[in-house]
Structure formats: structure tokens, C-alpha cells
């Protein structure tokens, strides 16, 4: 059991998240630097350290990817983050826009026992308050089969299944327009000019949302 610093854990977590939206799981230095809000030079330094610890495969000027060990750790950090978010919303009655920043701290508490008991206490939830899947103790995610609302088809009935939790502003916007997870969404029209989308919510409320908003929302078919 290698003990990592919170900083190292964050690197692995972000490499994991970026690798999921990159080709062949290769993450570029600058993308990490942007995500972490650090200089590229700092990132290079840390990648060398993580490479020495065999947590990442790093090739100069090419990019970085997680090793098996690195992946396992990254997934466990995500598990902790999402379980804590679930606790904060379900039990402590935080709103979904308030929990990310606190979970960023709590995810680094080192105690397997603690997170196992928390998982048990919460009844082994499969998804967090933003619809993100919570990996189990073995690191297995339950897949949700969602598509981005921006890519969804016209006239089909969907459910809001997952939202991007990292922007409190976006979640507050959803609060304001009273859109929640599991609400029904049907796309009435897409405007070609500015890519705004006309949607019907829960078969009664109609509204227009921007492309930007739609790209942060993920839906599944009913």
C-alpha cells in the first residue's frame, strides 16, 4: 500500500479524466496543466516523479497515461469523491452545486475502512448527485449509457442522467431553470444559426438552452 500525497492523487485523478476523452488514453502536458491550473513546467516535474513511482507511463514530448496501479488509485479517488458528494447531498442536505469543492478535500482522507463504511452507510449508491457513476470497491463502474444532449435526436423522449459537476455556476443555472436529474427532456427543435436547442421538460415546460448548456448535460433514452 503506497501512500500518496493529495497532490499526487489529484494528478492521477485528472490524468484519468483527461485520458477518457483523449485518443488512446494519452494525455498531453498542457491539457493537464490547464486542468490543474499549474504551469506546464510543474506538470513535467510531477510526471517524472509519478513515472519513477510506476504510476504513469510518461514519454517525453509525447504524453502520459496511467499504469495499472495508477489507474486503480485514480479510480479509488473518484470513488471517494463521489461517495462523499452523495453523503453531503443525501444526508447533510447540501445542494448539488455546493458539494464538489468540499469533496475535493474529503477525497484525500486516507482510510479504506472509512470509505467502506461510508459506502455501506449510504446503501452502496451507484451514482452520485450529478449522475456520475460511483466505482465499487473493486473499481468497477456501472455504465450509464448516456449521450450528450447536444447530440441527442429530435422528438425523442430522454431523461436527464448526468451533468458536469465541476462548474457551480452551471449547476446553479440548472437550479434556476428548475431542471433536475431524471427530469424528462424532449428536443423540440435545434436552431442551426447559434445551435440553441428548444426543449420540453417533463412534458409541460418549454424552454431554450444554449449549445454550451447542452454540452454539459447527458441524457439516456426513457
Partner DNA sequence: TATTATTTTTAGATTAGCCTAAATTTTAAA
Partner DNA sequence: TTTAAAATTTAGGCTAATCTAAAAATAATA
CA distance 40 to 29: 6
- 3-state SS class at 124: coil
Q: Is 132 in the site for Mn ion (CB under 5 A)?
A: yes
* 29/76 with CB nearer a second copy: 76
Cell numbers for 86, please give them. Answer: 452523495
Residue 1 binds: one of Mn ion, a second copy, DNA, none (C-beta under 5 to 8 A by kind): none
Sequence-ordered alpha helix ranges (H) in the chain: 6-20, 29-36, 40-52, 68-90, 99-106, 112-121, 168-176, 211-214
User: Which residues contribute to the site for DNA (CB under 7 A)?
Assistant: 5, 7-8, 28-31, 37-49, 58, 60-61, 63
Size of the site for Mn ion (CB under 5 A): 6
* 29/76 with CB nearer DNA: 29
* 58/218 with CB nearer DNA: 58
- Nearest distance from residue 96's CB to DNA, in Å? 27
Residue range at the interface with a second copy (CB under 8 A); choices 46-54, 97-105, 138-146, 148-156: 97-105
Sign of CA dihedral 175, 181, 183, 189: positive
CA distance 116 to 123: 11
- Nearest distance from residue 20's CB to Mn ion, in Å? 15
* 56/197 with CB nearer DNA: 56
Half-sphere exposure of 70 (CA within 13 A, CB side): 25
Alpha-carbon distance values, 42 to 47, 48, 144, 161 (Å): 9, 10, 35, 36
Q: Is 130 in the site for Mn ion (CB under 5 A)?
A: yes
* 76/216 with CB nearer a second copy: 76
- Nearest distance from residue 52's CB to DNA, in Å? 10
Residue range at the interface with a second copy (CB under 8 A); choices 37-45, 56-64, 101-109, 128-136: 101-109
Residue pair 22/86 in contact by the 8 Å Cβ criterion: no
Alpha-carbon distance values, 144 to 86, 122, 186, 218 (Å): 17, 20, 19, 10
- Nearest distance from residue 90's CB to a second copy, in Å? 11
Q: Which of residues 103-122 bind a second copy (CB under 8 A)?
A: 105-106, 109-111, 113-114, 117-118, 121
CA distance 96 to 122: 16
For a second copy, the binding residues (CB under 8 A) are: 88, 91-94, 98, 101-102, 105-106, 109-111, 113-114, 117-118, 121
Amino acid at each position: 500500500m503506497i501512500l500518496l500525497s493529495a497532490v499526487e492523487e489529484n494528478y492521477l485523478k485528472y490524468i484519468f479524466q483527461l485520458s477518457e476523452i483523449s485518443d488512446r488514453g494519452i494525455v498531453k502536458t498542457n491539457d493537464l496543466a490547464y486542468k490543474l491550473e499549474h504551469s506546464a513546467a510543474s506538470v513535467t516535474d510531477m510526471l517524472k516523479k509519478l513515472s519513477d513511482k510506476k504510476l504513469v507511463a510518461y514519454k517525453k514530448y509525447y504524453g502520459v497515461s496511467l499504469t495499472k496501479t495508477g489507474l486503480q488509485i485514480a479510480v479509488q479517488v473518484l470513488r471517494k469523491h463521489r461517495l462523499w458528494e452523495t453523503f453531503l447531498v443525501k444526508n447533510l442536505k447540501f445542494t448539488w452545486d455546493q458539494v464538489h469543492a468540499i469533496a475535493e478535500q474529503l477525497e484525500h482522507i486516507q482510510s479504506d475502512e472509512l470509505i467502506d463504511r461510508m459506502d455501506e452507510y449510504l446503501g452502496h449508491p451507484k451514482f452520485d448527485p450529478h449522475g456520475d457513476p460511483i466505482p465499487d470497491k473493486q473499481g468497477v463502474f456501472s455504465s450509464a449509457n448516456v449521450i450528450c444532449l447536444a447530440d441527442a435526436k429530435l422528438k425523442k423522449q430522454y431523461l436527464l442522467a448526468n451533468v458536469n459537476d465541476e462548474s457551480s455556476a452551471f449547476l446553479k443555472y440548472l437550479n434556476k431553470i428548475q431542471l433536475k436529474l431524471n427530469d424528462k427532456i424532449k428536443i423540440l427543435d435545434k436552431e442551426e444559426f447559434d445551435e440553441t436547442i428548444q426543449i420540453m421538460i417533463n412534458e409541460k415546460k418549454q424552454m431554450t438552452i444554449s449549445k454550451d448548456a447542452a454540452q454539459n448535460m447527458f441524457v439516456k433514452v426513457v
